[in-house]
Structure 1
């Protein structure tokens, strides 16, 4: 980002113009995040199943995060724990407080309906920054071990480690 960045970070709810902007920003970064994904998020938001939060830095798309009211992770879904999901900050906007601002807002949204927030994090090194961020924010493992997207992994099992393999964490939110 240029030296002209003034650190004006805005967090808002996703709107109709965002899917194309988000997909293009990721294309420019070399990641394949298709428009239909964000159109789906928008539709789920309209139905009340999720809240998609957008971060802008000086008016430029910088990242997003979702709050899922009914987690895809069975233990969270069964316990009624909302999940912070698909958290992304554009590479050029990292280490500027944008991720923390998105997490603050997501936790505030969850805190209106639940005393506990949940989140999943990948287990390999490309998730290292997220693992550290979540630990610093007070998230702790739920104690159920590694989940491969379908079941919890048992001792001695062989799995392919990919983006579906995660450790799930929870945080008790403080009431203001």
Structure 2
């Protein structure tokens, strides 16, 4: 297995979108075109994993998080981390996270990440804890505000627990 991790390039959006479509996930090319634009203006770094030249996964580093607690403390956020199903369990996700943390370490001693709270995110929850990420202590967030005791919410991809890690 010849793994290469590199920054997102202008020719990548349609390749990535089609790869996700083949496994039944809807990730439009426009999303990755936006990532190219935001990377070129310094707002994000998008890392691409390829196996023998074939797209296998990606991860983003958002330099100014939208999550209030990270934004206040200037904590870069690891975001939109995905490995294609056919390439999972090969260590590609760990290598992408290693590289994302290496990129963050150039600017910050802290990294942040959000993870969904239902079973579909179980593998990610375990991975992040094993990598040393711990809850930021603020509770769960729905993209707009923190969920308080007694609140009723629909559990979906917007309901997130945010974690932080001190980078050595």
TM (norm. structure 1) is 0.95
Q: Residue 58 of structure 1: CA displacement?
A: 1.3
What's the offset of the Cα at 1:164?
A: 0.7
Q: How does 1:1-176 map to 2 (within 5 A)?
A: 7-174=1-168
SS at match of 1:30: coil
1:68-101, Cα deviation, whole Å (9 max, x unpaired): 0000101101110000000000000000010000
Over aligned residue pairs, what C-alpha RMSD do you find? 0.4
1:64 deviation in Å? 0.1
Distance 2:161 2:115 in 1: 5
Q: CA deviation at 1:38?
A: 0.3
TM-score (norm 2): 0.99
Q: Which runs of 4+ in 1 moved over 4 A?
A: none
Structure 1 residue 124 displacement after superposition:
0.4
Return 5+ residue gaps in structure 1 as ranges.
1-6
Count residues with an aligned counterpart: 168
